[in-house]
Amino acid sequence: MSKNLIIASTSTIHGSGYLEYILPELEILFDSTQEILFIPYARPGGISHERYTEIVAKAFKKINKEIIGIHTYDDPIQAVENAKGIFTGGGNTFVLVNQLYKTDVMPTLRKRIYEGIPYLGTSAGSNICGLTMQTTNDMPITYPPSFKTLGIVPFNINPHYLDPIENSTHMGETRQTRIKEFHAHNTLPVVGLREGSWLHVQGETIQLKGNPTARIFKKDKSPYEIKQGSYLEF
């Protein structure tokens, strides 16, 4: 089997419920299974694993899918090994990556994705599909053993990418500036995924889907846009 996953910038777009905007795609992605293993480790806002799983279960119920949290298993590695579909939700990428290393789930998760298990990642769950987590937007509130992540795609991801706002009085760095700082020390390409867009990975094919364009950053090169439907090659 070959890779089959959706790497989405976000779980929620403005004016829409949790995962609502992408549910038709998820119905296709997970058409071979009624049960999906949920990895709630990123804990947005510090909510509990239980509460996060409840939110996700409510959304997936609309397409008749059952959600089971990985935290309910005594052996999380075996849970990933036996899963028929996997979703890793958003939140804090440092917390997520730290827990994936702490439970030793990272290598098994990578193996299962390469075996072709349908996988969905949103936000932090998308960040970990890149080569490293170093282009996350999150605060380093925990210290993972490594910044290296799954390496499912040959670049890094910046979810929730925001363009500089003209005439803004905000004096902090723009997202583009932060990625430029990353490229002062690293050579990996970065894909800026705007809200409402996602990457559909099938085998070695990576296609941009959703409404907004995406922004591509390469070291010592001017950033450029790619349109919906474009294929990414690095």
Q: Which residues are catalytic?
A: 123, 138, 160
Give the other-Cβ count within 10 Å of 23's Cβ: 16
- Six-digit token string for 106: 């990272």
Tell me the C-alpha distance between 42 and 91, whole Å.
4
* Identity at 129, one-letter amino acid code: C
- Six-digit token string for 200: 């559909």
Q: Which residues contact 9 (CB under 8 A, 6 or more apart)?
A: 122, 123, 126, 159, 160, 161, 193, 194, 195, 196, 197, 198, 210
The dihedral region occupied by 173, where left means phi > 0, alpha psi between -120 and 50, and beta the remainder, is beta
Angle between helices 106-115 and 93-102 (to 10 degrees): 100
Q: Which residues contact 10 (CB under 8 A, 6 or more apart)?
A: 90, 122, 123, 159, 160, 195, 196
* Positive/negative CA dihedral, 14, 16, 21, 26: positive
